[in-house]
Amino acid sequence: MAPKLKSRSADEELPKYLRISREIIGSIERGRLPLGGRVPSENELIRRYGVSNTIARRALQEAEQAGWVVRIKGKGTFVRQNRVDRSAMRILGFTRNMREAGRTPSTRLVQALVHKAGHSLAVNGRLYVLRGPLCRIERVRLADGIPMMREIRYISLRFCPGIQKQPLESSLYDIYEKEYGLQLSQVDQILSAIEVPDDLLEVFGLRAPVPAFQVEGVTFCGKEQILEMEDSIYRGDMYRFSVKATR
C-alpha cells in the first residue's frame, strides 16, 4: 500500500514572507511582543528562519502595512503603541487628531470635481439636502505614512466658491476658517461597523478585509446652513471612537 501523503495546511501554502509576517502579528496579539517593544530585525529574521534579506524585509513591510508595527529609520521596527482615539463629541479634524495622538498626518488627494447637482444624506432619521453646485473631493488620509481613512466630502460652493483650487492636501477645517471665514457650529454623524470593502483594499494597502467604521455626517456653519457632507471609511484596527453621554 502506498504511503499516505501528508496534506499541507493553509499557512504552509502561503509565501514565506507572509508566514513570517503572520507569526510576528500573532506574537503581538498574544502579548509576546509588547506595545512599543522592538520587533526582530531583518538580520534576526534571516538567522531565525533561514531566509534571504529580501524575504525578511518583505515580512516586516507586510506587518507594517497591516498597521501592527512601525519602522523608524536608523532605530529599527517597533510594535505600534495603540489605536488612535477619535472622540465623537468634538469637532476635530483629522490633522489635529493625528497630531494630538503623536502621529505625523499627511493627505493624498484622489480627485476634486465640481457638480451642479446637490447631494442628500439621511442621518439619525432625518434627511438632509445639500443644494448644488458643490465640490466632491476624495482623499486618503495617512498617519506616519499608513492609510488610516478614505474620505469623500461634498462641499457647498455657495459658502466656499472656488475651493477646488485650494491646496486640498491640507486641512479643510483650516481652509474653511482662513480662506472663507467660516466657523463650524455643529456636526451630525452616524457611525456604522463594517469591513473595509474589497474595492478599497488596495487603497489601504491591505490583502484581506479588516474591521472598519463608516462615518456619514453633515457639517453646519450656522443654523441649518449645511457646509458639507461626509462619507468616510476608517480602519477599525487603527481607530477607537469614544462617546460621552449625560443624563
* Residue 31, phi then psi, degrees to nearest 5: 85, 5
pLDDT tens sequence for the chain (247 residues): 444 444 455 556 788 999 999 999 888 877 788 777 889 999 999 999 999 999 999 999 988 887 788 887 778 888 876 667 776 666 678 888 888 777 789 999 999 999 999 999 999 889 999 999 999 999 999 988 888 899 999 999 999 999 999 999 999 999 999 999 999 999 999 999 999 999 999 998 877 788 899 999 999 998 889 999 999 999 887 787 777 666 6
| Cα–Cα distance measured from residue 53 to residue 62, given in angstroms and rounded to the nearest whole number | 14
pLDDT at 50: 94
Q: Which three cell numbers stand for residue 162?
A: 472656488
pLDDT at 94: 85
pLDDT at 89: 60
CATH 3.10.150.10 fits 84-242, yes or no: no
Give pTM, 2 decimals: 0.69
| Cα–Cα distance measured from residue 97 to residue 85, given in angstroms and rounded to the nearest whole number | 8
At the top level of CATH, the class of 10-79 is: mainly alpha
Query: Alpha carbon of 221 to those of 24, 37, 135, 159, 243: distances in Å?
Result: 47, 44, 16, 9, 23
| Cα–Cα distance measured from residue 61 to residue 39, given in angstroms and rounded to the nearest whole number | 12
Domain with CATH 3.40.1410.10 in the chain: 84-242
pLDDT at 211: 84
Domain with CATH 1.10.10.10 in the chain: 10-79
